[in-house]
Amino acid sequence: MAWEAASGLGRALVSVLKAVHGRGLVHRDIKPGNVLLGPLCEPVLADFGRAVCVGGARRDGAPADDLEAVGALLLHCLLGRGDRRGRTERGHLQHLRQQLTDAGAEDGDEAATGCECCPDLEAFLRFAWSLDRSVGGPPPEAYERLLRRLHRGDGPWQRTARACLRSVDAGHFVAWATVQNRVSWRDPTSWKRHDDRVPEGLLVRVTGQLRRGGDGERWLQVDPVWAPEAPAFLLQKSWVLVADSSRGPLLAPVPRVARQRLQALGRPAGPSGAEAAAGG
């Protein structure tokens, strides 16, 4: 991804983190797999399973670490890969910092940044590393300074994100989550933004293992997802029934008894249609 597009993604993520940190939370797991695309191609930060409170009992995370991780994510976007060489996330960032702060590396040097030329990203990382981690979140002006480093890229990012949506792998599902606890999905190749059969809501990516029961029912073991207003049954790994309705295919939560049966058997033996309706 070109820096002009990556900087648009970075700008959106910094804005999101400014709000998250303002509520007293540190995400602690910023990575490509935890960034979803919304219906207008806006990034949605997912998976707060490792989040901690700012100034809480745990001292292994600070708001500045999230901002540093955004820099690592942008480097991943530029390279098209995570150049970790078997390192942990923390080890990767420490190695990157050592490279960028090496006295023998000149600004914009390919050996220092790992990409052809990225002075803006280098400046972003250097500023993130300079933030004080011994206190609460960075002051508001720190976020504004980082946003100024990412002043370009809104247009290129939108074009890149739309291209990503058009090329969604057929093994993934494009779903609309609504406050009515209903989710509908259709093949991405036939998906249309303003299809009246799809309830208005938030675009999220639902992945998992799809199986068919002996009675022809379709079951999906959902991987955990997170998005604002997402139905509770998508927040954890669980089975859902893929059912047809007048509004199009829907993902209905599996009743508790049936879910326990599925977990015990490891296969979608499935409840009856009445049970499935009760669960939805």
Q: Tell me the domain boundaries of the chain.
A: 3-162, 168-279
Q: Is the pLDDT of residue 7 over 80?
A: yes
Cβ count within 10 A of residue 52? 18
Chain CA centroid to CA 84, Å: 20
Q: In the structure, what pLDDT confidence band is assigned to residue 133 with cuts at 50, 70 and 90?
A: confident
* Stated pTM of the model: 0.55
Closest-CA residue to 189 (of 166, 163, 164): 166
Query: Where do runs of H (alpha helix) occur along 171-266?
Result: 256-265
Highest mean pLDDT of the ranges 62-71, 144-153, 184-193: 62-71
Cβ count within 10 A of residue 57? 6
Q: Is the pLDDT of residue 14 over 90?
A: yes
d(CA 63, CA 152) in angstroms, rounded, equals: 24
Q: Give the strand pairing for 183-186 and 173-177.
A: antiparallel
pLDDT digits (tens, 9 = 90+) for 248-278: 455 555 555 555 555 555 544 443 333 333 3
Per the model's pLDDT, the better-predicted residue between 102 and 106 turns out to be 102
Across the chain, what does the average pLDDT equal? 65
Write down the pLDDT at residue 189: 44
| CATH class of the domain defined by 3-162 | mainly alpha
pLDDT digits (tens, 9 = 90+) for 179-230: 344 445 444 444 443 333 333 344 455 666 766 666 666 676 666 655 544 5
Where does the chain show beta strands of DSSP type E?
A: 25-26, 35-37, 43-45, 52-53, 173-177, 183-186, 202-206, 208-212, 218-222, 238-243, 250-253
